[in-house]
Amino acid sequence: MIKKTSACLAALMLFGGPAFAQSADSGRLLASNCFQCHGTNGRPSVSGFDRLAGASSSEIYSELKEMQGKTVGNDIMKVHARGYTDTQLRAIATYFAAQR
């Protein structure tokens, strides 16, 4: 039993890293639509846009979900947010939360 557990843990450690890296890369790729306004690393170079770098991923995700559900107005963020699945929104939120 201990050998099986050790083997499983070793496999997770060996193959889990690339899976995490792939997730981080996909978050960056998905977030690329946000870069023009919010900056490549979540630090906008122009005033008037929210800084996303270092905010909690749950806060960013909640804001995106709120924008996704808006029914009035022609807010560009509403349009962008509706183009993503929940999994993609979480990846974007995780990417920006990891930026410093």
What's the pLDDT tens digit per position in 58-96?
A: 999 999 999 998 877 668 888 899 999 999 999 999 999
Q: Quickly state the pLDDT bin for 4 (edges 50, 70, 90).
A: low
CATH of region 2-98: 1.10.760.10
Query: Which of 1-10, 27-36, 52-61 is predicted with the least confidence, judged by mean pLDDT?
Result: 1-10
The domains of the chain are located at 2-98
Euclidean distance between CA atoms 41 and 32, whole angstroms: 10
On the CB side of 56, how many CA atoms lie within 13 Å of its CA? 3
